[in-house]
Amino acid sequence: MEKNPAILSVEASIIDLPTIRPHKLSMATMMKQTMVIIKITSTDGIIGWGESTTIGGMTYGPESPESMKLTVDQYISPLLIGKDATNINVLMHEINRNVKGNTFTKAGIETALLDSQGKRLGVSVAELFGGSINSKLPVLWTLASGNTEKDIEEAKHLIKINRHDTFKLKIGSNEPKKDVVHVVAIKKALGENIRITVDINQAWNEYTAKIWIKVLQDNGIDLIEQPIIKTNFDGLARLTEYFHVPIMADEAVATTEDAMKLCKIRGGSVFAIKIMKTGGLYNAAKIAGMAEASDIGLYGGTMLEGTIGSVASAHIFSTFTNLSWGTELFGPMLLTDDIVTNPMVFKDCKLELPKGPGLGIEVDEDKLNHYKRK
């Protein structure tokens, strides 16, 4: 093994992959997913992969695929080239000193460094964090075709083949009453044993939330995700206190600082953790620790990443003791193709953590080049 391998190159490629159907959220309807794939090559021949992905251009988060590529090419790559590839803490500290914000970009870079180091040491990314508690994680599916009947049909098929038993509904783009009627119709059609959660993606104000969460709660909905604007932390705390149906913070809980503030006021009884929001796996683990200490449950969230980002998320989520709400790492199944040769395994309502060093995935570089934006 080379003693002090150095980073030779950092490449960021923009990949566009079509979705299997339109995916309708309150802020955008997705017909494709755009990922920034990071490749880090070191002098010992090790190649590490990472992914930085957002939803709906700039409608969801503060970074775009194009800005992420620019941040890597212009600002992060020069900080890494020639440096010791094996000390991730030093590398990320240097990046954080020189590049503010840009957590999505940093998540992809940190993932590629972890994948490299895992391969170098012959251990998985989860093992770099002390090892996974579960190698199979519950995974739900999001119904978001925009049509109630189509959603019911899709869910019934997935229940029949035992791929999912929990479904998340994306609402907030219509009048609340229309959305709630849609949710209740799906809940009734799928029956008691199927868990239904709803994600409002900040679309309601606190007053509207108070009226309509009551109806959702009375109709047996299991979890309410980010009903109000992400900056209204006190409002989230009030809703958490007021309702017995659990309220989950998603957009509100991005950084470790957000998590600290929300833990103090109990702004949510569940946190959706996403490595894109936290800026990588280390920060995701820090937030998990804060949540555990505050008796707040965890949910393994997605930014609808492809396989690389989803597997990276699965590695860190698998180390959490309080992953009481499972995960939504179904992103690869929403896409018509994959750029890895060993896709994730989804079986019996669970995903399986890949075995093998690093992330445990093999990238098909021909496919990557095929889908790469020229």
Out of 63, 199, 222, 258, the only residue in the binding site for ligand MUC (CB under 6 A) is: 199
338 interacts with, out of ligand MUC, Mg ion, none, CB within 5 to 8 A per kind: none
| Contact mark string toward ligand MUC, 132..151, x via CB under 6 A | ----------x-x-------
Q: Does 302 bind ligand MUC (CB under 6 A)?
A: yes
- β-pair type (29-42, 136-138): unpaired
* Between 72 and 252, CB nearer to Mg ion: 252
Q: Does 273 bind ligand MUC (CB under 6 A)?
A: no
Residue 216 structure tokens: 């959702």
CA distances from 161 to 98, 214, 246, 335, 338 (A): 49, 33, 29, 19, 22
Q: Select which of 24, 170, 274, 350 is catalytic.
A: 170
Length of the chain: 374
Residue 39 annotated as catalytic = no
In the complex, least distance from residue 126 CB atom to ligand MUC, rounded to whole angstroms: 22
Amino acid at 211: I
Residue 51 structure tokens: 């992914």
53 interacts with, out of Mg ion, ligand MUC, none, CB within 5 to 8 A per kind: none
| Contact mark string toward Mg ion, 231..270, x via CB under 5 A | -------------------x--------------------
The H or E element that residue 277 is part of is helix 275-278
Residue nearest to ligand MUC (CB): 142
Q: Does 202 bind ligand MUC (CB under 6 A)?
A: no
Question: Which residues, including other chains, have CB under 8 Å from residue 296's CB and lie 6 or more apart?
Answer: 262, 263, 266, 268, 269, 270, 271, 290, 322
* Between 296 and 363, CB nearer to ligand MUC: 296
Q: Specify whether the CB–CB gap between 287 and 261 falls below 8 A.
A: no
Q: Does 250 bind ligand MUC (CB under 6 A)?
A: yes
Contacts of Mg ion in 123-162 (CB under 5 A): none
Question: Which residues, including other chains, have CB under 8 Å from residue 271's CB and lie 6 or more apart?
Answer: 248, 249, 253, 259, 262, 287, 291, 296, 297, 298, 299
Which span sits near ligand MUC by CB under 6 A: 71-79, 123-131, 296-304, 318-326? Answer: 296-304
- β-pair type (223-225, 195-199): parallel
Distance of CA 114 to the CA centre of its chain: 17
**Chain residues that interact with ligand MUC, rule: CB under 6 A:** 25, 55, 142, 144, 170, 199, 201, 250, 301-302, 304, 328
Catalytic residues: 170
Applying CB under 5 A, the residues found at the interface with Mg ion are: 199, 225, 250
